[in-house]
Structure 1
């Protein structure tokens, strides 16, 4: 694997770096368990855009610094009438939807997003998690929607998305009790896909990203798009839409390169053409 190529972009609460073809976004406010802030939201949205616009990026890993993923909204700042990083308010004013895009409520990156979770991933953290595609967690990670315990509503998309991602009875229990869930429980109900030893989530996520990066990028992006756009369709409609997405992939130079590489017993060299 090519190693880190250095930081790109980011804000005081969101670091961005590249490792080979993977863009790594790190929520970086460990003193607050990576509670959401304006600088973090702006940095997240810019990171999603960078991944979308840079064809050299084939996958994204989202993680948190200091042994935490994200403890949700900064309720202390919210109660005090503001959030850290008010200098970013012009960005929010220019795009009132920016925070929802940052939290993957109103934006879906075209590249696969892998979450690497350690420690708390609760409230807004679990809401962001719902916008990711593949999820890895350390054994000590904790998940949950605490909003109802504070008299709040999980408005980051959870009442819509969660019941589509896990069985409804589990979704309702999570949303209505506000109780914490262990990584083992989250795996059992299907909220996450992997549990690894504490401290190993990022390495496992990068390993998965490397596998994705070795695949044809046009095929990967078309598969992801097809899965999401057909999710709410009836089967016949979805199958028709799949052909619209899938057939053009077969007519690419990358598809021909994949067949040649297989015949020649070598690794393919994909060029997104």
Structure 2
């Protein structure tokens, strides 16, 4: 398994857990963290025994955004990571899921601050669970910056436009309860239990047929910008072949025999 000094990787059953691990800086994004994140997404997709990914933060914080000291010119540690960025200038955007989509479901487990770049990464995840004291927000306009991680495009597609614009244009913080109400996150749980709740959700995902799960996720995302007619045609192209898979037949047999299915990604 990969990982860097600021990104921990752990395997929990069929779930790969990626932990933003820079708690002394509220898990502010560093180059080492971004390199580790991108490698984590690639690792999850390359390993067919991984069924889901959980993204969380160490020390009771998800992510406080970009390291502004580094942005101001103080630099980021790790020559090897700078080399990776020179080799792939788009790496940091792919790490933040701006225009890279893992084929495995990604579940966010949020505690504490999830602001600026943290809220931007969040928008690239599929399922979102947060502790009740979690805080969200896009603070960029308060600092003369632009939320260039994709928020001006993605946020209005994920929550009602008026709420998206208020979040983007005021830069104010949002509580977990309010974030759930506007649809930014899906569930609020007691503080300290977001990771457990995310892993429970991951287990439910892992129990399903992996080919079907990945096809459903792909269909949802690739049809977002289509007309209904185009989307329905694309859905058929994605979904119909699954009915001829061994996993589909196994699902039917298991149902008839009243047992748990044994899916083989075939």
TM-score range, shorter chain: over 0.9
**Of 123, 133, 137, the match for 2:130:** 137
In the other structure, the counterpart of 1:200 is 193
Alignment partner of 2:249: what SS? helix
**1:24, 1:62 within 8 Å by CA — same for their partners in 2?**
yes
In the other structure, the counterpart of 1:5 is none
**1:60, 1:113 within 8 Å by CA — same for their partners in 2?**
yes
In the other structure, the counterpart of 1:11 is 4
1:208 CA drift (Å): 0.3
| Alpha-carbon separation, structure 2, partners of 1:129 and 1:258 | 32
**Structure 2: runs of 5+ lacking an equivalent:** none
| Alpha-carbon separation, structure 1, partners of 2:222 and 2:106 | 16
**1:37, 1:85 within 8 Å by CA — same for their partners in 2?**
no
The answer as to 2:65 corresponding to 1:100 is no
In the other structure, the counterpart of 1:170 is 163
**Alignment of structure 1 residues 57-68 onto 2, 5 Å:** 57-68=50-61
The answer as to 2:148 corresponding to 1:155 is yes
The answer as to 2:227 corresponding to 1:230 is no
The answer as to 2:105 corresponding to 1:112 is yes
Q: TM-score, normalised by structure 2?
A: 0.99
In the other structure, the counterpart of 1:85 is 78
**1:29, 1:65 within 8 Å by CA — same for their partners in 2?**
yes
In the other structure, the counterpart of 1:217 is 210
- Deviation string 1:70-116 (CA, Å, 9 cap, x unpaired) is 00000022213412334311100000000000000121000000000
| Alpha-carbon separation, structure 1, partners of 2:242 and 2:179 | 35
In the other structure, the counterpart of 1:53 is 46
In the other structure, the counterpart of 2:173 is 180
| Alpha-carbon separation, structure 1, partners of 2:79 and 2:55 | 24
In the other structure, the counterpart of 1:42 is 35
1:9 CA drift (Å): 1.1
Aligned residues: 266
The answer as to 2:14 corresponding to 1:27 is no
Which consecutive aligned stretches of 4+ in structure 1 deviate over 4 angstroms post-superposition? none
Task: Between 111-120 and 79-88, report the one with greater CA deviation.
Answer: 79-88
**1:77, 1:84 within 8 Å by CA — same for their partners in 2?**
no
| Alpha-carbon separation, structure 1, partners of 2:99 and 2:157 | 17
The answer as to 2:126 corresponding to 1:126 is no
Alignment partner of 1:11: what SS? coil
| Alpha-carbon separation, structure 1, partners of 2:205 and 2:73 | 44
**Structure 1: runs of 5+ lacking an equivalent:** 1-7
| Alpha-carbon separation, structure 2, partners of 1:64 and 1:185 | 21
1:264 CA drift (Å): 0.6
Alignment partner of 1:80: what SS? helix
Q: TM-score, normalised by structure 1?
A: 0.96
